[in-house]
Amino acid sequence: MGMEMAIVLDNGIPVEKAYVRIGKLEENNKSLTIYVDTYYDHQSFLDGKNLLSRIPYNFSANVSDDAKNYRKQGYEFMKTLGEYADAIDVFEEGQLA
């Protein structure tokens, strides 16, 4: 899973259909760090192109027995952040919501 959204790079260049996804996550007790990778578009990711940026975010994970997996919690956390609030979910082939 990932998300598609319009962004503006640090150098001012707009990217209309950037593809963002959690590329890596690290657990430390109840704290999670997700690393959000940004690609020019979804096809660039599928083609193995270099990412445009990687941004770390920290949040407290739900560790109860019935909690969602950490990756799903990470995407839900991202949607609470203003820069990802309007992002559109993109599912990989065979992946369910």
Query: Above 90 in pLDDT, residue 91?
Result: no
What's the whole-number mean pLDDT along residues 74-84?
94
The answer as to whether 13 is a domain residue is yes
Q: Which residue's entry shows tokens 């941004």?
A: 55
Q: Which two three-digit tokens encode residue 22?
A: 């959690």
The answer as to whether 89 is a domain residue is no
Residue type, 33: T
The answer as to whether 70 is a domain residue is yes
The answer as to whether 96 is a domain residue is no
Cα separation, 88 vs 70, whole angstroms: 20
The answer as to whether 79 is a domain residue is yes
93 band by pLDDT with thresholds 50, 70 and 90 = confident
Report pLDDT digits (tens) over 11-59. Answer: 999 999 999 999 999 998 889 999 999 999 999 999 999 999 999 999 9
The answer as to whether 42 is a domain residue is yes
95 band by pLDDT with thresholds 50, 70 and 90 = low
Task: Please state the domain count of the chain.
Answer: 1
The answer as to whether 59 is a domain residue is yes
The answer as to whether 49 is a domain residue is yes
Mapping DSSP onto H, E and C, the string for 4-23 reads EEEEECCCCCEEEEEEEEEE
Which residue range(s) make up the domain with 67?
2-84
Q: Please tell me the pTM assigned to this model.
A: 0.89
